[in-house]
Structure 1
Amino acid sequence: MYSNFRLLVISTSTIHGSSFLAYIKDDFVDFIQTDELIFVPYARPSGISYDDYTVNVQSALAEKGIAVKGLHTFSDKKEAIKQAKAIFIGGGNTFLLLKTLYELDLIGDLKTAVAAGVPYVGTSAGSNLTGLTIGTTNDMPIVYPPSFDALQFLPFNLNPHYLDPDPNSTHKGETRETRINEFHQFNSQAVLGLREGSWLHVENGEIQLKGTLSARLFQQGEEPIELNPGQLNF
């Protein structure tokens, strides 16, 4: 499924005590191997405007000599994706992001571009899109996309920002693990929980877990498995 894809699937754009993209910036630039990219701002974290969100990315990557153009600024968005040297889809609300991409009829164009070898970087919501569906996002369904089907670059679902239960917490709500187990009552695909500061590097048909932390793999009817950094087999 992912043999021809070049993907950087990042749990979060910002870790505690760090500025936007700072901890991942060098890996990001090394991965895309180009001096320009198209940024897709449609997830709109905290309701930020497309322009302001794009400026955040431009500011973060300016020191690396990367020219960033927001997809929303192109009159012909399909052609922009077709001509893109690299594509970055940022975090925010996954439902809003996917709904907008369906409304603009860009799902097929993104699949075609990435299948042709265009580097794809996703953070948070943008990482959710690389899985089979968005059914394991942490976001509220503030809008309703026509389908939960995502870009399906990877043969599993993602849960970015995965949090382990806090044994000292008095909070009685569901843990991430509980919610994923609920998902598996009705869905069979595996779910990979990516902790903060972790990412997947997909290239040459291999999936590498990067960062210092393990990831948690959930499979229907089985106990969760901790996967250490390194090559993952799916």
Structure 2
Amino acid sequence: MSKLLLFSASGYKESAYLSHTREFIDDFLKENFMIDEEILFIPYAGVRRTYDAYEAKVKEGLKKDNIKSLHCFENLKEAILNAKVFLVGGGNSFMLLHKLYENDLLEVLKERIKKGACYIGWSAGSNIAGLSIKTTNDMPIVMPKSFDSLGIFPYQINPHFISGKFPGHNGESREERLEEFLLTNPKDIVYAIPEGSALKVQDDSLKIIGYHDVLKLSYPFSIEYLKVNQITKI
């Protein structure tokens, strides 16, 4: 049983921090009868701010007081076992996964979600919901135990997807980078999420929400555009 809401980013265009996610998050929690539950925030992707500051920023951005960061608990595993809603923030995917492995939390988090807990993530928090972080855009600032991540979404995820090349940029485009991944991992599928959009999963059903189509990339290199509000089977 998977109940997932996976955003590309914490912002969209000129919107305030997390403001474009609020209505989607509230609807998701209401649908799963979790609107009044305490939300456990996992801040480990944050590198350039303290965990206290990150928690405060997320509370302000979502206008919710029922959010408590994992770093505030003495027993981390117990906190995860007792949580019914997880909120996993963005930052650096390598650091996030490294901290989950370092604290021996990856498997207990995975099992808790499989047993019905809701999972909400953005950016790095969305990245680790997939099979691995091999399609992240982040620099490997730390080496996690493995690139394997939660796998609660059974495919690869690429948040912050931007198509094409910017003027003056002579490196590979995002499509070219993802093609490289698929040439090396031909059995995998990648869901590329543009800013302002998200994947919403209820058990084996996937719905595209937000403002832009999501791209589904596979080998030999092909792109399928999943429309906003389109529902497919996983």
Q: Return the TM-score normalized by structure 1.
A: 0.93
Distance of 1:215 and 1:5 partners within structure 2: 20
Query: What is the rounded CA distance, in whole Å, between the counterparts of 1:155 and 1:26 in structure 2?
Result: 26
Q: What's the CA shift string for 1:169-220, capped at 9, x where partnerless?
A: 2311111011111111221310111000000111142010112311111112
Q: Report the equivalent of 1:174.
A: 172
2:89 corresponds to which residue? 90
1:24 partner SS: helix
The alpha-carbon distance between structure 1 residues 222 and 182, as it changes in their structure 2 partners (threshold 3 A), is: closer
1:37 aligned to 2:36? no
Amino acid at match of 1:22: S
**Does the aligned pair in 2 maintain the 1:156–1:190 contact within 8 Å?**
yes
For 1:9 and 1:205, how far apart are their aligned partners in 2? 15
Amino acid in structure 1 at the alignment position of 2:49:
I
List alignment gaps of at least 5 residues for structure 2. none
CA distance in 2, matches of 1:181, 1:86: 34
Residue equivalent to 1:155: 154
Cα distance between partner residues in 2 of 1:43 and 1:172: 29
Find the counterpart in structure 2 of residue 144 from structure 1: 143
- Verify: 1:51 aligned to 2:48, yes or no: no
Query: Separation in 1 of the partners of 2:204 and 2:182?
Result: 27
| Moved beyond 4 Å, runs of 4+ | none
Q: Distance in 2 between matches of 1:131 and 1:221?
A: 21
Structure 2 residue aligned with 1:189: 188
Q: Secondary structure at the match of 1:141?
A: coil
Determine the C-alpha separation between the residues in 1 that align with 2:128 and 2:91.
12
Partner of 1:214: 213
SS in 1 for 2:28: helix
Report how many aligned residue pairs link the two structures: 227
SS in 1 for 2:148: coil
Q: Which residue type is aligned with residue 30 of structure 1?
A: D
Contact 1:34 1:66 in 2 (8 A): no
Q: What is the root-mean-square deviation of aligned Cα atoms in Å? A: 1.3
1:66 Cα deviation after fit: 4.1
Deviation at 1:112, TM superposition (A): 1.4
**Alignment pair present for 1:18 and 2:15:** yes
The percentage of aligned residue pairs carrying the same residue is 39
- One-letter code aligned to 1:108: E
| Separation in structure 1 between the aligned mates of residue 96 and residue 233 of structure 2, nearest angstrom | 29
Letter of the aligned partner of 1:59 in structure 2?
Answer: E
- Conserved? CA contact 1:128–1:159, under 8 Å: yes
How many Å apart are 1:58 and its aligned residue? 1.4
The 3-state SS of whatever aligns with 2:184 is: coil
How much does 1:222 deviate? 3.2
Q: Corresponding residue for 1:232?
A: 232
TM value normalised by structure 2: 0.93
Deviations 1:8-60 (A, max 9, x none): 01111111211111011011122223332010000015x11111001111112
> For the Cα contact (< 8 Å) 2:45–2:91, is it kept in 1?
yes
- Whichever residue aligns with residue 49 of structure 1, its letter is T
